[in-house]
Amino acid sequence: MRKSAAPSLRTFGSKSVSVSERLAGPATKTTDENSSIIPSEYSDNSTAKLVYNVVWGKRSTKKHKTFEGDGTLTISSKTATLRNSDGSYLGSSTIKPEEIEIGCRLTIGSNELEIIEQTTGVQLPKRKTDDSEERQESESRKRKANPASFQPYLVLSHSVRKNSASKMNFGLEKQNDFEPLIMPEPPEEHQSKFNPTNRSIKEVNIIPCCARALRPHQREGVQFLYECLMGFRSPERFGCILADEMGLGKTLQCITVCYTLLKQGPYGLNVANRILILAPSSLVDNWCKEISKWLGQLRAFTFQIDSKHKIQDFINAKHIPFLLISYEMFAKHFDELKNVHFDVMICDEGHRLKNQSVKISTLLNQIDCARRVILTGTPIQNDLQEFYALIDFVNPNILGTYSEYKKTYETPILASQQPHASEWVIELGEERAEELNQLTSGFILRRTHDVITKYLPKKQEFVVFCKQTDLQRELIQRTLELYENNDDPANGLQIITSLKKICNHPALINTGNQNDALTEQIRQLVPSWQDMGPFDSGKLCVLDDLLHEMHKRQEKLVLISYHTKTLNVLQEWLNYLNFTNCRLDGTTPTNARNSIVEDFNNPDKDFFIFLLSAKAGGVGLNLIGASRLVLFDNDWNPASDLQAMSRIWRDGQKKEVFIYRFILAGSIEEKIFQRQLSKVALTGCIVDQSSKKEKLKLSNEELKDLFSTQQSNDECATHELLNCQCNGDGLNVQEASETGVQSTSEPSKSLQMDQLSSWQHYKYPIDSNLLAEMCMPNATENIVFIFRNQNDVEM
């Protein structure tokens, strides 16, 4: 059913109104038999027919109006005739043509209707308010003179109520540089199955206001989504995965395709009426803003579930196509939503569905919706079991049951990757991997930042190895001695947790709820908090210099940590320095997150530092108000680090970007970083994400390597692993091929050894010109080594 053209809270540029007012729509307008003079510009068309698409229903005094069906309203002279979508007569009345506006409601006989759009005939009367509207009117006359070029949805640009958005150029009028985006026609196999009556094939055009904004890779993505959701690539499959890296515009690509399916179809009918969009709670508001930005003028409305706006309100509001909801809210309201039919389901940050046994995956699989899209910026091929879960969600049973998949693909592929695999095993594994790739490549699309680098400002990345302070070195050594003298191997997890806290700041040892004997012994080693300060952390020493220099230059910084206790320490220190800051973590109310981001990005707002929890806001957030970002600690999963560091280098950024990854040299942090570089799979890491309780998943040999310490505090063990013979002055960098490390085929994925070899290398004492460019001119005594990469240097 078509959407209503009632006013919306989400209309871009309009004054906000409540959802209840939006559902009620405009006041009903009853026809008046007292005729008035038709504007002179329409006097020559007094006998012409005007035809409009409408939604209609029985007259009702209910506040939340529910329409019963689609129809057409034909106006000939002063007579308006209402017919159902099947052509059956519903009533007629006299009417003033000049009173007709898109979105207005009329009463004809016992039925009430709402105007959706004009389909044929002369254009609607318009108020000439500015030059842009006069230009639109001129283009309207051109379309009337050339009916072949007429597109029904273009008329909507003339009928929007006068507001600030009406003066914006949404690209609805013709421009010389506009290249139309036309979707492919359905293949013969699709037509034979879904078009048995041989209806004529209609050309499906992407609406110009979106098509003009799409970059080449996004146009490719829109076509990919359209073909998959329509079943063009396989008549039995309608799902897909868009796995573009962060910042490539996955949201706009989806919005474009969704509106196309709501309004058009290759066989003359629209494909979708209701669309479900699920996202992390921190991104729901962003989806609303983006839909309003791109579709607000076209009156495509959104609905969000909260304490005031219930599921039943959405069910009753047939003219609202988009339901935006967080995963947590979906689980809470599942019993009400499970019987609602959705034509398209989009799961943003959908890699959270990688475990089929978790509750949200189980619930979503019960929704009756074949067209499913997973959006993820995280590579999904790292774990074959997780890969199966995501594939099976978007296209159920395409790989058979998991036991069949494991026998056919997973086991042979994993066996072929073992160090002592025989030639026959390797050959079989490669054959099955190629077969799996061919089976799934048709509905998986992934592009890297390489496709938009030319549109973005310069970026510099730094891996900064900070020197341990005397207190950190002593605490790390004594903690490892306690572990060596302890016979319980289960204590490895407690040791890792304690070592990671010491790397950030020794005072963090006294935080947390761990009360085991080993942790208590470690706490006895830590001085009282009165005897410690910010400079007992090597990373804080470097950060202090960076912040003071940035404050002088009036630049903004995003400061990220995986631990809220670390954020507490950092925020307390920033407040002591009188550095203005804002913060977003797991405790931040969902309805406050968007305003915090907007305030920080606003150059007129006095926020110097954005404190961000990588777990709560490491995905999806756009923090282009900052030009520098510091990842204060690292995660076992390299994809998580990549997500967190992509917050500022993305579309809309105008300044040169500097991204710093702080690592405490010679510590467990450097060992974790090395594991990332060595492409160790996530399944071999310390935390089993599928369990509510953390479990140790490292062998004794791996623990021994993890806890091995570096004798010298002035050398970089990671640089030594590269077998690089450079002087550490950033000049004679080796090519990846010279290091003997195999090159990766996807350079923009998580950082790998061969890529790090081609970065610039700087050892202590660090070049003063580099430190000045890094905005930390006085930090040389606190830095052991720096790896540097610039995006205009081939990686």
Most confident of 69-78, 123-132, 270-279: 270-279
Of all helices (H) and strands (E), which one includes residue 335? Answer: helix 334-337
Q: Which range has the worst mean pLDDT, 122-131, 307-316, 540-549?
A: 122-131
Provide the 8-state DSSP code for 205.
B
* AA identity, residue 614: A
Which is nearest to 783 in space by CA: 724, 708, 728, 706?
728
Secondary structure tally for the chain: helices H, strands E:
28, 22
Most confident of 46-50, 244-248, 749-753: 244-248
Which is nearest to 125 in space by CA: 36, 254, 33?
36
**Number of CB atoms found within 10 A of residue 223's CB:** 19
Q: How far is CA 701 from the centre of its chain?
A: 39
Q: How many residues does the chain have?
A: 795
Q: Which range has the worst mean pLDDT, 138-152, 516-530, 663-677?
A: 138-152
Of all helices (H) and strands (E), which one includes residue 701? Answer: helix 700-706
Cα 390 from Cα 500, distance rounded (Å): 32
* AA identity, residue 363: L
Residue with tokens 């139309």: 180
What is the rounded average pLDDT of the residues 431-448?
90
Cα 638 from Cα 615, distance rounded (Å): 13
What pLDDT sits at residue 586? Answer: 85
Q: Which CATH architecture has domain 211-447?
A: 3-Layer(aba) Sandwich (3.40)
CATH dotted code for 19-128: 2.30.29
Instruction: Kindly indicate the confidence band of residue 566, based on its pLDDT and cuts at 50, 70 and 90.
Output: very high
What pLDDT sits at residue 725? Answer: 85
Which is more confident, 291 or 121?
291
Which is more confident, 741 or 534?
534
| Neighbouring-strand partners of residue 325 | 278
What pLDDT sits at residue 620? Answer: 67
Read out DSSP for 32-67?
Answer: -SS--PPPGGGGGGTTSEEEEEEEEEE----SS---
Cβ atoms of 241 and 390 closer than 8 Å? yes
Q: Exposed, middle or buried, 506 (CB in 10 Å: 0-12/13-18/19+)?
A: buried
Most confident of 146-155, 218-227, 508-517: 218-227
Buried b (16+ CB within 10 A) or exposed e, 763-793: bbebbeebbeebbbbbbbebbbbbbbbebee
Of all helices (H) and strands (E), which one includes residue 783? Answer: strand 783-790
Order across the sheet with 760-763: list the strands.
581-584, 609-613, 557-561, 628-631, 657-664, 459-466, 783-790, 760-763
What pLDDT sits at residue 154? Answer: 26
What pLDDT sits at residue 469? Answer: 94
Where exactly are the structural domains of the chain? 19-128, 211-447, 459-464+534-790
% of the chain beyond a pLDDT of 90: 42
Q: Helix or strand or coil: residue 77?
A: coil
What pLDDT sits at residue 487? Answer: 65
Residue 19 has pLDDT above 50, yes or no: no
Cα 31 from Cα 94, distance rounded (Å): 7
What pLDDT sits at residue 6? Answer: 35
What values do phi and psi take at 724, rounded to 5? -85, 135
Residue with tokens 């979508």: 85
Instruction: Kindly indicate the confidence band of residue 732, based on its pLDDT and cuts at 50, 70 and 90.
Output: low
Q: Exposed, middle or buried, 490 (CB in 10 Å: 0-12/13-18/19+)?
A: exposed
What values do phi and psi take at 420, rounded to 5? -110, 30
% of the chain beyond a pLDDT of 70: 75
Instruction: Kindly indicate the confidence band of residue 704, based on its pLDDT and cuts at 50, 70 and 90.
Output: low
Cβ atoms of 661 and 463 closer than 8 Å? yes
Cβ atoms of 10 and 296 closer than 8 Å? yes
Of all helices (H) and strands (E), which one includes residue 115? Answer: strand 111-120
What pLDDT sits at residue 203? Answer: 94
CATH domain 459-464+534-790 topology: Rossmann fold (3.40.50)
452-499 pLDDT tens trace: 888 889 999 999 999 999 999 999 988 888 878 776 655 777 888 889
Cβ atoms of 441 and 760 closer than 8 Å? no
Cβ atoms of 571 and 641 closer than 8 Å? no
Cα 24 from Cα 6, distance rounded (Å): 8
CA distances from 792 to 154, 554, 787 (A): 41, 25, 16
What is the rounded average pLDDT of the residues 586-607?
88
Cα 568 from Cα 511, distance rounded (Å): 11
Cβ neighbors of 520 (< 8 A, separation 6 or more) are: none
Q: How far is CA 526 from the centre of its chain?
A: 42
Cα 209 from Cα 294, distance rounded (Å): 7
Q: How far is CA 724 from the centre of its chain?
A: 38
Which is nearest to 163 in space by CA: 136, 191, 129, 114?
129
Instruction: Show the DSSP H helices in 417-525 as ranges.
Output: 423-440, 470-484, 492-504, 517-525
What is the rounded average pLDDT of the residues 168-188?
67
Mean pLDDT of the chain: 78
Q: Exposed, middle or buried, 476 (CB in 10 Å: 0-12/13-18/19+)?
A: buried
What values do phi and psi take at 79, rounded to 5? -105, 125
What pLDDT sits at residue 713? Answer: 64
Instruction: Kindly indicate the confidence band of residue 222, based on its pLDDT and cuts at 50, 70 and 90.
Output: very high
What pLDDT sits at residue 49? Answer: 76
What pLDDT sits at residue 145? Answer: 39
Cα 590 from Cα 327, distance rounded (Å): 12
Read out DSSP for 132-193?
Answer: HHHHHHHHHHHHHH-GGG--GGGGGGGSSPSSGGGGS--S-S--TT----BPPPPPHHHHHH
Q: Is the torsion defined by CA of 677, 678, 683, 688 positive or negative?
A: negative
Read out DSSP for 252-306?
Answer: HHHHHHHHHHHH--TTSS-S-S-EEEEE-HHHHHHHHHHHHHHHGGGT--EEE--
Cα 644 from Cα 615, distance rounded (Å): 9
What is the rounded average pLDDT of the residues 744-762?
63
Which is more confident, 604 or 159?
604
602-645 pLDDT tens trace: 998 889 999 999 887 766 688 999 999 999 998 877 777 777 88
- Residue 712's region, left for phi above 0, alpha for psi from -120 to 50, else beta, is beta
Strands (E), 626-712: 628-631, 657-664
Residue 263 has pLDDT above 50, yes or no: yes
What pLDDT sits at residue 755? Answer: 75
399-430 pLDDT tens trace: 999 999 999 999 999 898 887 889 999 999 99
Cα 499 from Cα 522, distance rounded (Å): 10
Which is nearest to 158 in space by CA: 118, 206, 204?
118
What pLDDT sits at residue 12? Answer: 31
What pLDDT sits at residue 699? Answer: 61
Which is more confident, 49 or 147?
49
Cβ atoms of 697 and 498 closer than 8 Å? no
Domains 211-447 and 459-464+534-790 share a fold: yes
Report the DSSP pairing between strands 581-584 and 609-613: parallel
Residue 378 has pLDDT above 80, yes or no: no
What pLDDT sits at residue 162? Answer: 30
Cα 471 from Cα 469, distance rounded (Å): 5
What pLDDT sits at residue 485? Answer: 79
Cα 760 from Cα 734, distance rounded (Å): 9
Residue 188, token pair as written in the block:
């013969």
Integer-rounded Cα Rg, in Å, for the chain is 30
Cα 241 from Cα 373, distance rounded (Å): 6
Order across the sheet with 89-94: list the strands.
29-30, 105-108, 111-120, 49-58, 69-76, 79-84, 89-94
509-557 pLDDT tens trace: 888 766 677 778 888 888 877 778 888 999 999 999 999 999 999 999 9
Cα 149 from Cα 97, distance rounded (Å): 25
